[in-house]
Structure 1
């Protein structure tokens, strides 16, 4: 029978459960814990977790630095939740929204030693669900029994990573879409097997698969691409890249659903709110608990290879994209600068990208 869900399918189910506030059971090498995303935790479920023993709040080392809490690990900090504190305290520690108004969060006691793999895996799962990278967990004596009794998703990660290195992408469909920059437009839809966001390839004309194609890896930006936000240069870059491909007669623009440098739109708005408090884009990400950039550009190289391309003229200001393409076996014959959209509202943002992220601006 093939009705039993695979590891990939269970992971997709667990992501959805965390987003809805439902606990999941994560088990590694016989040790198990109930895990709930901090931002979707309710008082009732916190009380249920406490029924199993000590509750821990897991955050990333980036967030721990802001909180002045000891991580004792490169992957996670496990903060002991006091027995008399509730959901409001947990959200206050996990979410930096009120850090400036309430800078004193502690002193915070963190666990040292022991196996932190479940906590680290849970953080990774929360990130992949586009939630704050923070979870609440409580160890349980028998993960299988708890999952069966309460109808919960159980992930046994003893022999598997919580998120595969790169999910397989399959083309679902492509169809002709006449565009203002070129009537010879075609949109390809790619769907990852892990249940994640679909990604798109906009093909202009009929590029020769044996020649370097003019290409751009463009990360989705709802605010810039659709609303015309002046806080970034994404919208102007998108339109300029498509216009250049139209003038060239051929090209491929990969529209990757990795909003906010891979942290999702809600977390991007959290970062914007922190920027309004005076933090730059990198500092805001760190305070939230994310790295500078959480995107996976390998998705772009994988789509290009599936489309039959092995070399590109890459439209980018980001050397990391060039290095990734080369590492993934797609030769970059030329880096084509794309410096457009600078203005009063995004000058500091662009300066930060140049100074801290290495963009060539």
Structure 2
């Protein structure tokens, strides 16, 4: 068992996430001074009055939905600052939360201004995603503001995401339906609450194992949701590993393709309005793919598994793992039956995200 150093930068970023969820003011500093921020979703009107700014910072994806960027900017959208956009939390939520778009169809006109710090703005969006909140903030320029309750930098956020911080925390035998001799290995990062796990099935035989990257899906894995294919994929992969000489399931705590459970449920609500999974994520203000595959690469490194046979229908996973130094010697498809509730979801994966079904 090994340990990982807890750097001060990562700790500052973790405190910023905590402040964000609590509705506290926090600062993301950069070479221009930085930005003072309060997350719209956790803010209160009394906090906003004390904050003294009605500017908003929203993600580039949400700005594209609101038609606030031109086509050139939409190709690689960055955060957008809206001057005097909202003088109350309710007004800000009407801009930030796409679930309220039907109730508040007319927005603006908005005046966009310089963010006041592009690096700080981009780092704030990463913090929002890791906190599981909407990527929207009340903002003021930190160079001229008073002290924030918590401060971090863009480099601190990068340190928080460094996969080298991941280490093996515990391991134990875990008999499961697919294999009574399976071993579970837990991985932990010092400043984060979510622990990733690997399930090792079978015995090493000198050949690359069958590996499946499975992102946590509470609704599919535990509750048996029919809206996705996550639960059936999980169990089919485990049985395929049991039939192979050996295999490794990497269970990544990255719910909803990395946007968190609450935001995934918001995306579900948007799907009920007719949006597919891709457009739902974009309307929420998130990238289509927000998962961190470097974590999987680090887990395989700690398990001493440099070469794998990857079970996936997503060629992007192959490319991402190879970028992390993992040799993928074979891609193994995973075919499952559809149902009336997930047929459109699977068609979107095929047509818009390149899955080979």
Same-fold call, TM > 0.5? yes
2:3 is matched with none
Mapped pair 1:199 → 2:196: yes
Cα deviation, 1:176-227, whole Å, max 9, x if unaligned, reads: 011111111111000123425210000112223x421111000000000000
Q: 1:290 deviation in Å?
A: 0.7
- TM, length-normalised to structure 1: 0.91
> Which runs of structure 2 are paired with 1:174-185 in the superposition (5 Å)?
174-185=171-182
Whole-Å separation in 1 of the counterparts to 2:156 and 2:13:
10
3-state SS of the aligned residue for 1:97? helix
The verdict on how the C-alpha distance between 1:142 and 1:111 changes in structure 2, with shifts beyond 3 A counting, is closer
1:105 is matched with 107
Q: 1:249 deviation in Å?
A: 4.4
3-state SS of the aligned residue for 1:274? helix
Count residues with an aligned counterpart.
346
Moved more, 251-260 or 21-30: 21-30
Whole-Å separation in 1 of the counterparts to 2:119 and 2:322:
32
Unaligned runs of 5+ in 2: 1-5
Mapped pair 1:93 → 2:95: yes
> Which runs of structure 2 are paired with 1:303-342 in the superposition (5 Å)?
303-342=299-338
Q: 1:78 aligns with which of 81, 84, 89?
A: 81
Moved more, 345-354 or 165-174: 165-174
3-state SS of the aligned residue for 1:13? helix
3-state SS of the aligned residue for 1:173? strand
Q: 1:119 deviation in Å?
A: 2.3
Contact 2:309 2:329 in 1 (8 A): yes
Q: 1:297 deviation in Å?
A: 1.5
3-state SS of the aligned residue for 1:345? coil
Whole-Å separation in 1 of the counterparts to 2:179 and 2:259:
32
3-state SS of the aligned residue for 2:211? strand
Whole-Å separation in 1 of the counterparts to 2:123 and 2:322:
29
- TM, length-normalised to structure 2: 0.91
Q: 1:272 deviation in Å?
A: 0.2
1:14 is matched with 16
Q: 1:334 deviation in Å?
A: 1.2
3-state SS of the aligned residue for 1:162? helix
1:67 is matched with 66
Question: For the aligned residues, what is the CA RMSD?
Answer: 2.0
Cα deviation, 1:11-62, whole Å, max 9, x if unaligned, reads: 1111011111111122212514321111001001100111xxx432111111
Contact 2:13 2:156 in 1 (8 A): no
Contact 2:312 2:334 in 1 (8 A): yes
The verdict on how the C-alpha distance between 1:11 and 1:302 changes in structure 2, with shifts beyond 3 A counting, is same
Whole-Å separation in 2 of the counterparts to 1:319 and 1:76:
29
3-state SS of the aligned residue for 1:228? coil
Whole-Å separation in 2 of the counterparts to 1:329 and 1:6:
28
Whole-Å separation in 2 of the counterparts to 1:99 and 1:17:
27
Mapped pair 1:155 → 2:158: no
The verdict on how the C-alpha distance between 1:30 and 1:111 changes in structure 2, with shifts beyond 3 A counting, is closer
Q: 1:310 deviation in Å?
A: 1.1
